[in-house]
Amino acid sequence: MVNRRHALHFAAVSGDRTTLEVKERGTDQLGTRNVKRLRRQGMIPGVLYGKENRAFAVGERELRVALTGPSGLHAIVDVVIEGHKTPHHAVLKEYQQHPVRGTITHIDFHEVRLDQPIQATVAVQFVGESPGAKVGGVVQQVAREVHVEALPSAIPEHIELDLSTLELGENLRLRDVVSIDGVTFLDDPETVIANCSSPRGLTEAEEAADTALAAEASAEASAEASAEASAQADGATDSE
């Protein structure tokens, strides 16, 4: 069975901080056989990416505690390598899970500087109610995440899009999202985030009604034209 891989692309980062103590892995602890041995011992292999990539191992329990805090996967992690005092500020980059048990089998962090902006992918959440939905429209989320740039501690866990101005047949775009101090949206401002459209059944009924009305109007026009032609013919006969 293949482990499930979750690439986060520097997903939303919270200002919360958590400390994680790890043990650096030497060359004798690399390779598939050694990795399996580490896992049997309750250790999770990982890599800290930065100016110098460092392979490490961390206790499964310690990792679980670090990643299940208030900010979960979005916390800034102070990775402390055993024997060193200086922490490495990092964000979660990628993790792999066992396909059946769901436990983490590998984890990657990316080292960041807290005074330099990073780019991240942030989820979009809806707030408010669409007026179009109140009259039978269906709201669809076209884009579920957007790309932003900000300092690591300023990356929002999500951004909110207010639906209170979304009428039937209209769109809301990235430019309709309220700006956030210190956060730059990297996507095209015209990117459609949500729309409100008529349900398919309602649209088909409207189309059928329009077709019926058009047919009725055409029949009335034909009848009027026929009546007018008949009247003109009668007038010509009378004049004779």
Residue-wise pLDDT for 28-61, tens only, equals 667 777 788 888 888 899 999 998 899 999 998 8
pLDDT score for 142 = 96
- The reported pLDDT for the residue numbered 38 is 83
Structural domains present in the chain: 4-111 (2.40.240.10), 118-197 (2.170.120.20)
* 23, two tokens: 């043990």
Structure tokens at 43: 């250790």
| Statement: residue 137 has pLDDT above 60 | yes
Tokens of 118: 């990073």
**DSSP structure string for 53-94:** -EEEEEEHHHHHHHHTSTTGGGSEEEEEETT--S-EEEEEEE
pTM over 0.95: no
pLDDT at 87: 92
Q: What is the pLDDT of residues 151-203, one digit of tens each?
A: 988 888 889 999 999 999 999 999 999 999 999 999 999 999 999 998 864 55
